[in-house]
Structure 1
Amino acid sequence: MAHTYEYPRPALTVDCVVFGFDGAGLQVLLIRRGLEPFLGAWALPGGFVHMEEDLEAAARRELEEETGLKGVFLEQLETFGAPGRDPRGRVVSVAYFALVRPDRNPARGDTDASEAAWFPADKLPELAFDHSVILTTALERLRGKIRYQPVGFELLPESFTLTQLQALYEAILGRGLDKRNFRKKLGAFDFVVETQGFAGGSHRPARLHRFDHDKYEALRSKGFLFEL
């Protein structure tokens, strides 16, 4: 027997904040809307949740449909449901944030996104809906998260220099870090491992390092807390 609901039901969407790091600064992937409302405006990738989908599946589907991204680090951020946030009606959005490498994920628009592009996180265009609020919330989450969990390694090449790693943290935190103190703290963690390789292009090439996921997980299972 079908149920009749006394109260109207809002629509449900997902929105995705996609962060990248180009070696110098933090980047955000945006799509240009190909449909009303906000036709032609820049926005976060996202869309409506299908009735048979769970939330993360919907977020991953929208990311792949609108930007081509798949198999990326994805984490639920927060729910945004202010009345009037969407001119189409009462729409609640569950936001996610993703961490990817722009060099491996070139921007491309698809389905209802007429275009996609990477933008510097500190030089963003005006965004549709309440997406500027969602993006600010995601950046605050990322800044807090990298202090206790090494998610930043999702944004780096498989092999990287310590200078690149410090530049990543500075880009996310929005401030400079003392090189000596940063490397001293980093030296206490044996999951940042030296490789046999060196970065090219210098008469004193820098040693390349890699992140050892297995060592980190082994430490974390014993109650280890990552702090930088």
Structure 2
Amino acid sequence: MTGLATDVVVFTIRDQCLRVLLVRRSGEPFAGRWALPGGMVPADEALDDCANRMLGEKTGVRGVYLEQLYSFGAPRRDPRGRVVSVSYYALVPPERIAPFADGDDQLAWMPAGALPELAFDHRDIVELAHRRLAAKLDYSNIALQFMGERFTLSELQSVYETILGEPLDKRNFRKRVRNLPCIEDTGEWFRAGKHRPARLFRVTRSDRVEIIK
């Protein structure tokens, strides 16, 4: 058997933890083990179309940011034969995760840093996707893909810190992101308990990941 497949690393942030969406395999090989959503590519379907379709069919995730990551082609990565996987990663805002994963024992959002044993070489794919995402924070606005309609700069900083796994200097962070052309002050304020009100911002071009450095 020789074939071409796509696999997708779906990231979200929940409870200040970067999480990956996994699917429990129902058949061999690796029956019962967790894996990334994906599957074989038909001869008449483009790679990007296949990745989007598989993502929607297996998880319900549609209309999110999706980027091609890398091709994994070790000869024995699939015990059934030679299968090359073109991997992708997708980013999902937290408010969109409940409808398709919570309460389903065949889907699970698991911490990216504490994954169970995965099928195939899917752990390697997740680790590379995490490194790619962290690297792109330095020169693009990709973190905005995790934000809701309105957000505070503290919430945005928390996204950066969660992905990087380290704290950032508040003053330097705010100086950098407030100059981004793709976010704007809404003129509204967020008030939580006794804390000082925080300005609310919104993304002006949420469908685009842009180079900012």
Distance 1:27 1:91 in 2: 27
Amino acid at match of 2:134: R
Q: Is the 8 A contact 2:51 2:88 kept in 1?
A: yes
Structure 1 alignment gaps of length 5 or more = 1-8
Comparing 91-100 with 188-197, which one deviates more in the overlay? 188-197
Q: Which position in structure 2 is the counterpart of 1:5?
A: none
Q: Which position in structure 2 is the counterpart of 1:65?
A: 57
Q: Which position in structure 1 is the counterpart of 2:150?
A: 159
Q: Which position in structure 2 is the counterpart of 1:146?
A: 137
Find the residue that maps to 2:96 and give its secondary structure. Answer: coil
Q: How many residues align?
A: 209
User: Once the 2 structures are TM-superposed, how far is the Cα of residue 120 of structure 1 from its aligned partner?
Assistant: 1.6
Structure 2 alignment gaps of length 5 or more = none
Q: Which position in structure 2 is the counterpart of 1:4?
A: none
Distance 2:7 2:198 in 1: 39
User: Once the 2 structures are TM-superposed, how far is the Cα of residue 94 of structure 1 from its aligned partner?
Assistant: 0.2
Q: Which position in structure 1 is the counterpart of 2:90?
A: 98
Question: TM (normalized to structure 2)?
Answer: 0.90
Q: Deviations over 1:106-164 (max 9, x none)?
A: 3449xxx9711111212211111000001111111111112111111111111111111
Q: Is the 8 A contact 1:22 1:101 kept in 2?
A: no
RMSD of aligned Cα (Å): 2.1
Amino acid at match of 1:185: R
Pair 1:16 & 2:2 matched: no
User: Once the 2 structures are TM-superposed, how far is the Cα of residue 50 of structure 1 from its aligned partner?
Assistant: 0.9
Distance 1:173 1:64 in 2: 28
Q: Which position in structure 2 is the counterpart of 1:50?
A: 42
Find the residue that maps to 2:127 and give its secondary structure. Answer: helix
Q: Which position in structure 2 is the counterpart of 1:194?
A: 185
Distance 2:95 2:119 in 1: 26
Within a 5 Å distance, the mapping from 1:58-137 to structure 2 comes to: 58-106=50-98, 107-108=100-101, 115-137=106-128
Amino acid at match of 2:168: L
Find the residue that maps to 1:137 and give its secondary structure. Answer: helix
Comparing 130-139 with 16-25, which one deviates more in the overlay? 16-25
Question: TM (normalized to structure 1)?
Answer: 0.85
Find the residue that maps to 1:158 and give its secondary structure. Answer: coil
Distance 2:110 2:95 in 1: 13
Task: Give % identity.
Answer: 48
User: Once the 2 structures are TM-superposed, how far is the Cα of residue 23 of structure 1 from its aligned partner?
Assistant: 5.3
Q: Is the 8 A contact 1:21 1:156 kept in 2?
A: no
Pair 1:177 & 2:168 matched: yes
Distance 1:57 1:71 in 2: 12
CA 145–71 in structure 1, closer or farther in 2 if over 3 Å, else same: same
